[in-house]
Structure 1
Amino acid sequence: MNESSGPAPIMAEELRRIAVRLATKAGELVLAQRRAGFAVTTKSSATDVVTDVDRNSEQFLRAELARLRPGDAVLGEETGEVSGTDTGVRWVVDPIDGTVNFLLGLPQYAISIAAQIEGRTVAGCVHNPVSGDTFHAQLGGGAWLGHDRLSGPRSVPLAQAVVATGFGYDADYRARQGEIVGRLLGEIGNLRRLGSAALDLCALAAGWVDLYFEGPLGEWDFAAGLLIATEAGVSTSGLDGHPAGADFVAAGHPDAAPEFFAALQRLGAGTAARTFAGQRSGAL
């Protein structure tokens, strides 16, 4: 990346360093509060849970961003968006991605922090506080797990591919997702449902899974992970002629992606996600 094609690399590097530092600190807070005990409530449905640790983590991140980067906008899963001034920087924060896993004690949850300049994600970090895995990237600078550079998934035929996905909180839509996955299972090698979109995208970047799809998602679910995956060389699509985004994200090795995207298109995965997203927005 050069200065004429996007934000200066020095700016993206600064934002990446902040994201890594704050995600790691928030991870320490999350682990400590889990050991101390926590309260649980629900949001959009009985399966859409939130804990006081989610809220405390987001409050910590917002306070630190206000201290380190006054004037930046912040979008967080739990408390919405706060507009910035004239910095042009917007942070997208998920204080715990994989709250159900956190609740159950499954070690597959993460703090996800992305930084955007004029709507373009330029830096991000996804940190798993249990394993200590810290994935990070900046635009044009590659994707990393700690100090190790990531090169994306292996290139295998669809019939051999291990596919990661996730399911929504709405029961009717989840049943529709199950129908699509049921038909897809006859065309792929196997399926993984790990419970964190951010970590799924990072697993793809690391080559721990071969392909990934899910939607709709909150921007906080995928903003950092999508940058990490693309910086590792992954191809992405939102299907139905759309780019990857909140309605739908599909991703994989450039060699395997076209066949995978075509299969998802044929099964109506993108259309189903977009239809549900529209219905959900209309109900708000």
Structure 2
Amino acid sequence: MDMEMLRLAESAALLAGHALKDRRSAWAGIENAAGHDVKIKADRMAEEMIVTLLQRGSDHPILSEETGFIGAGVGEKRRWIVDPLDGSLNYHLGIPMCCVSIALYEGLEPILGVVYDFNHDALFSGQIAAGAWLNHVPMHPSATTEIGAAVLGTGFPVKSDFSMEGLTHLIGKIQGYRKIRWLGSAALSLCYVACGKMDVYQEENIRLWDVAGGCALVKAAGGVVTMEEANLAEHRFHVTAQNGRLNVI
């Protein structure tokens, strides 16, 4: 049954991803901007496509970035978690670092995850205890064992603390790494940990839908993920994902 759900998530991600790539000129316009957050037409259009297909193929409720809870059933433990377009501003600007993210969770435990990087036709998929794949070829985290040799992926969530104290805290967490990468897409950063291109992903106060698919992939690939509640009502977490060989603070 879980493999059927994985195939359903792959189909939904591919459907939305192909539309996002083909219709960028029509969908990239900004519909709403508040502070550091930007919403574009593509977010809404991709969500409609994904939700329709997931509801057609399963009875699980959905938590999606644009709409929130959809079809939440009483006592339902499993739920889809959807970010129809992670990296919306990149998409708007024509920067090819954005993706579709879909995950199935039971509570806060991942069951499976799919992330589709439609700009590079890279389909990341994984199921806990079954494995993880990049375009259906098995993938694994890196073998890096020292922080000083590791590459960290991170970013600034919408509600980041840009005070001197907040920035000093961030510098203290990242300065020991060999290199830092800021992609503008948490989901893609996590995919790169899952497939060994990066060694660690770490971000504070990140929304669950931004990381749900990628965290599932890291765990399915054999990596280690920790999620600490920051603000459960707003679905915010402090997240660390790594290859499982590093002593990450």
1:164 pairs with one of 146, 153, 159: 153
Q: Could you tell me whether the CA contact under 8 Å between 1:143 and 1:150 is conserved in 2?
A: yes
Aligned to 2:38: 49
Amino acid at match of 1:19: A
Helix, strand or coil at the partner of 2:100: strand
Q: Could you tell me whether the CA contact under 8 Å between 2:113 and 2:127 is conserved in 1?
A: yes
Bigger share in helix:
1
Aligned to 2:4: 14
2:206 pairs with one of 217, 228, 243: 217
Amino acid at match of 2:206: L
Report matched runs for 1:42-121 at 5 Å. 42=32, 45-69=34-58, 71-85=59-73, 89-117=78-106, 120-121=109-110
Aligned to 1:226: 215
Q: Percent of pairs identical after alignment?
A: 30
Give the Cα separation in 2 of the matches to 1:116 and 1:171. Answer: 26
Task: Report the Cα offset of residue 80 of structure 1.
Answer: 0.7
CA pair 142-157 structure 1, distance change in 2 beyond 3 A: same
Q: Could you tell me whether the CA contact under 8 Å between 2:186 and 2:211 is conserved in 1?
A: yes
Task: Report the Cα offset of residue 239 of structure 1.
Answer: 6.2
Task: Report the Cα offset of residue 170 of structure 1.
Answer: 3.2
RMSD, matched Cα: 2.2
2:18 pairs with one of 15, 28, 33: 28
Bigger radius of gyration among the two: 1
* TM-score after normalising by structure 1: 0.78
Give the Cα separation in 1 of the matches to 2:174 and 2:211. Answer: 24
Q: How many residues align?
A: 243
* TM-score after normalising by structure 2: 0.89
Bigger share in strand:
2
Give the Cα separation in 1 of the matches to 2:181 and 2:242. Answer: 14
Return 5+ residue gaps in structure 2 as ranges. Answer: 230-234
Give the Cα separation in 2 of the matches to 1:154 and 1:238. Answer: 22
Give the Cα separation in 2 of the matches to 1:217 and 1:118. Answer: 17
CA pair 177-199 structure 1, distance change in 2 beyond 3 A: farther
Task: Report the Cα offset of residue 52 of structure 1.
Answer: 0.9
Amino acid at match of 1:130: N
